[in-house]
Amino acid sequence: MRDTLNHLSIQGAALDNTVGIAIAEGMNRIGADMGLEPLAWEIHTTGGAAIEGVPIEGTGDAMMICLAWAHALDLEEYLFNTGEGTRTWYAAGGEWHIEITTAPRK
């Protein structure tokens, strides 16, 4: 009997995608419970685990949406210029980094 993840038939990319979707849906459920607009979330694992959220295009005032999330998650704002009026908030500790930004996805 195979008892390790190394023997699963799920492709690595498919598993990454599934985990990313689950985290994004979970974050937006947490936000909905706090009365927040949903964000588009990306998960990055290179160099450590990072969750990055940006407002979904066309959902409202990006600055206000990000400020609400930053306040709800007790995030700190980057104090340096993050580029062309972009504002970014973050929390880093332990194994995870979370970031909310007004910068549109590229």
Bigger pLDDT: 2 vs 75? 75
Residue 70 CB coordination number (10 Å): 20
Mean confidence (pLDDT) of the chain = 83
Q: What is the pLDDT of residues 20-30, one digit of tens each?
A: 899 999 999 99
Cβ–Cβ under 8 Å, residues 92 and 44: no
pLDDT for position 39: 96
Q: What is the mean pLDDT of residues 68-97?
A: 86
Percent of the chain residues topping a pLDDT of 70: 83
